[in-house]
Amino acid sequence: MRPISYLTLATLGLALTGALLAAGCNRDTANVPAKSAANTPPPAPAAVTGLDEHSYAEPDKVKTKDLALELHVDFDKKELSGSATYTLDWLDPKWGKLVLDTRDITVEKVVGERADGNWRDLTFVQAPADKILGSALTIAVPERNKRIRITYHTSPNASGLQWLTPEMTEGKKTPFMFSQSQQIHARSWVPLQDTTMVRFTYTAHVTSPKDVMVLMSANNDPKAVRDGDYSFEMPQAIPSYLLAIAAGDLVFKPTGPRSGVWAEPTMAPKAANEFSDTEKMMETAEKLYGPYRWGRYDILVLPPSFPYGGMENPRLTFATPTAITGDKSLVSLIAHELAHSWSGNLVTFARSRDAWLNEGFTTYVEMRIVEELYGKERADMEKIVARNELKEEFTNENLDRQPLAVKAGVLKDPDDNLTGTVYTKGAWFAEFLETRFGRATFDAFLRGYFDHFAFQSITTEQFAEYAKANLLDKYPGKVTQAEFDAWLNESGIPATAPQVTSPRFDAVDAVRKAYLDTGKLPDAATVSKWTTYEYVHFIEGLPQTMKPEQLAALDSVFHFTGTPNGEIAQRWYPLAVRSGYTQANEAIAEFLGRVGRRKLIMPTYGELVKTPQGLQLAEQIYAKAKAGYHPITSGSVEQVIADAKAGKTKD
């Protein structure tokens, strides 16, 4: 795992470093009184408060209202350096400390602005690091300064940043850096109250090499000049996990009057063509749930090492290139990230255990957009695929993570939420409510919900209270309180869940059954007309293991081995590994070496490590691929390999 570095105690009078000067930030040197606070007793190390079990922050005492960043991007050192200035709202007039979350951050200096405009050194303690939560940074603030500034630099091993050499990019000429702050990785590149309970506006001044374009989750100008000096503003208050930055050889292609794509030059035209329906998606969502409130909606297509499908950073969705297939078959990913502009970015979950409020309603809105633009048949197929995955994920070992209202203490790591719970079950619950109350009524409710809680972070309990007043009590006899509560508090899927069928999947089932019963291969002309989801459904219905010659025969028709489609690859390659279909090993190595999206590669790694030969191959592949993986992905792969060596492989 990544090494941890921290300061046990920092006293005052630290000199400004060259890294700060390189960032162009010299305000810390001005107006600092000669009198030192070196004799001020150090603040006591912070403990997790219970407000948010994954943050040391104390937002009931003091909150960040605004963040001003001065940063320099250093590709040689693989670090961000500079300062963060916080405008604070002291809620408790007697409170005298500020606690921030950090991970692998070196704090060089902390100063506070006094009422007379002078800046004075403040005493701080950076506690020993917890493996998951990082280090609490506790600052003594006896005068409860309205503004505090921290000078710092990040570690090359920051979990929320990935640094790519030119060879790891599509263009092979310019290095690339990008962030991934969700769930609690923002604390690895900015000292923060890294909890969704705190929302803040921000500005940033970022310097970089002149051949690099820098973008942030803020007001990016499509006509910005690439000169190594960039300024940003985010006027809407956001939680820390939506703070984002990227830098690389990026160009812009429009997809509409208020939308477009940023990508490397060779990828930009393909991405703009694939995501050309973005403006239509925005218009569809606005008709249902009210105006888009974030100005522009642009998409940044990242290198293949991005560990997720997409990240809903406001104004600048980060997206995986694996969604670009040439036939728009996977653009529901963009519908999903756009839907977060209402569910998640506008109304945000207050704690990691409330994550379904973000992802469940977003997945529901995504399906409504897909249905409107691409038809109910496609939306239904996507639902069935997701619900089949849920059935595989839900086991007796994770019953405590299956309720929508996960109990406190269950999630040791906020990344441990089940996909099936927060995405699929959450969306299924929304569809249950739509079915019972009627689509028109539920649409009006959801729009009212987004308006009522706009720019707020809420808990499951708050949602339940709002739904009781505006659905259950307002329209009696539709849904009982017991039915409603079962979705929130019980494991599994309630018997009240509405079911979906697909005639196209029925046809796929018939083709598969005919092959398994008789050995007759499917007709190539027939299957060539299938969509991604039909191929996925075909593979998912095959036996867990098959004879290698059977897979070779299927390959002669479907050409699954070597597919550029990650959704197909993540299902075909595990089957190939389980079945001893070694002819696919070269393609498996190429796929795992090229793609860093966890969802797509972890199933294959998980199968490889179950045998000595497969474990050896997995280690060989990972050794070559590691440099191009995001730290989040590397951690996942290393854990699977370590578990296999310790005899903890899951069946």
User: Is the predicted pLDDT of residue 649 greater than 70, yes or no?
Assistant: no
- Is the CB of residue 557 less than 8 Å from the CB of residue 524? yes
Q: What kind and span of H or E run contains 213? A: strand 213-216
Residue 487 has pLDDT above 90, yes or no: yes
Task: Locate 190 and state its tokens.
Answer: 């900015």
Burial of 191 from C-beta contacts in 10 A (0-12 / 13-18 / 19+): buried
Architecture of domain 532-645 in this structure: Alpha Horseshoe (1.25)
pLDDT tens digits, one per residue of 188-228 = 999 999 999 999 999 999 999 999 999 999 999 999 999 99
What is the structure's pLDDT at 11? 31
pLDDT value for 631:
82
Given the residues 56, 152, 292, 423, the one annotated as active site: 423
The pLDDT of residue 36 is: 38
- Residue bearing the bigger pLDDT, 75 or 627: 75
| 337 labelled catalytic | yes
The residue behind tokens 């502009």 is: 341
The architecture that CATH gives domain 18-157+182-208 is Sandwich (2.60)
Q: What share of the chain is helix, strand, coil (3-state, %, to 5)?
A: 40, 20, 40
pLDDT at 1 over 80: no
- 367 by DSSP, 3-state: which? helix
pLDDT in tens, 234-291: 999 999 999 999 999 999 999 999 999 999 999 999 999 999 999 999 999 999 999 9
The DSSP letter of residue 471 is I
pLDDT at 2: 26
Written as one letter, the residue type at 79 is E
Q: Is 423 a catalytic residue?
A: yes
139-178: pLDDT as tens digits:
999 999 999 999 999 999 999 999 998 888 888 899 999 9
Of the pLDDT bands very low, low, confident and very high (cuts 50, 70, 90), residue 51 is confident
Name the band, by pLDDT with cuts 50, 70 and 90, for residue 650.
low
CATH number of 347-501: 1.10.390.10
* Cβ atoms of 244 and 179 closer than 8 Å: yes
Pairwise pLDDT comparison (36 vs 477), residue with the higher score: 477
pTM of the model as a whole:
0.86
The pLDDT assigned to 49 comes to 62
Q: Strands 106-113 and 147-153, how do they pair? A: antiparallel
pLDDT band of residue 551 (cuts 50, 70, 90) is very high
Q: Is 34's pLDDT higher than 70?
A: no
pLDDT at 171: 85
Q: Assess whether pLDDT exceeds 70 at residue 24.
A: no
Contact status, residue 425 vs residue 405, Cβ threshold 8 Å: no
Question: b vs e for 534-571, b when ≥16 Cβ sit within 10 Å of the residue's Cβ?
Answer: bbbbbbbebeeebeeebbeebbeebebbebebbbbbbb
Number of C-beta neighbours around residue 14 at 10 A: 15
pLDDT value of residue 306: 77
Q: Cα dihedral sign for 74, 77, 78, 81?
A: negative
- Does the pLDDT value for residue 341 go beyond 70? yes
Percent of the chain residues topping a pLDDT of 70:
92
| Rounded-to-integer distance, Cα 459 and Cα 617, Å | 45
Q: In whole angstroms, give the CA distance from residue 452 to residue 468.
A: 14
Helix axes of 503-518 and 376-393: crossing angle, nearest 10 degrees? 60
How far is Cα 588 from Cα 569, in angstroms, rounded to an integer?
9
More confident residue, 632 or 217: 217
> What's residue 172's pLDDT?
85
Are residues 259 and 296 in contact, defined by beta-carbon separation less than 8 angstroms? yes
Give tens-digit pLDDT for 230-241.
Answer: 999 999 999 999
Q: In what order do the strands lie in the sheet with 97-102?
A: 97-102, 135-140, 124-126
pLDDT exceeds 60 at position 80: yes
Q: Do domains 18-157+182-208 and 532-645 have the same CATH topology?
A: no
Q: Exposure pattern of 512-521 as b/e (b: 16+ CB <10 Å)?
A: beebeeeeeb
Q: What is the mean pLDDT of the chain?
A: 90
pLDDT at 443 over 80: yes
Domain ranges of the chain: 18-157+182-208, 347-501, 532-645
In whole angstroms, give the CA distance from residue 19 to residue 327.
46
Rounded mean pLDDT, 81-99: 96
Q: Kindly name the residue from 58, 264, 274, 337 that is annotated as catalytic.
A: 337
Interatomic CA distance for residues 613 and 316, integer angstroms: 43
pLDDT for the residue 411: 86
Both tokens assigned to 648:
């903890």
pLDDT digits (tens, 9 = 90+) for 385-418: 999 999 999 999 999 999 999 998 898 888 889 9
**pLDDT recorded at residue 170:** 84
502 vs 427: CA distance, rounded Å: 18
For the chain, give the percent of residues with pLDDT over 90.
81
Q: Reply yes or no on whether the pLDDT at 299 is more than 80.
A: yes
For residue 587, the one-letter residue type is A
Could you give the CA distance from residue 190 to residue 8 in angstroms, rounded to a whole number?
A: 19
Contact 413, 131 (CB under 8 A): no
Residue 156 has a CB neighbour count (10 Å cut-off) of 14
Closest CA to 73 of 211, 250, 200: 211
pLDDT of 48: 59
Does 485 score more than 90 pLDDT? yes
Burial of 364 (0-12, 13-18, 19+ CB in 10 A): buried
Q: Is the pLDDT of residue 30 over 80?
A: no
353's CB contacts (< 8 A; 6+ apart) are 53, 405, 406, 407, 408, 410, 411, 417, 460
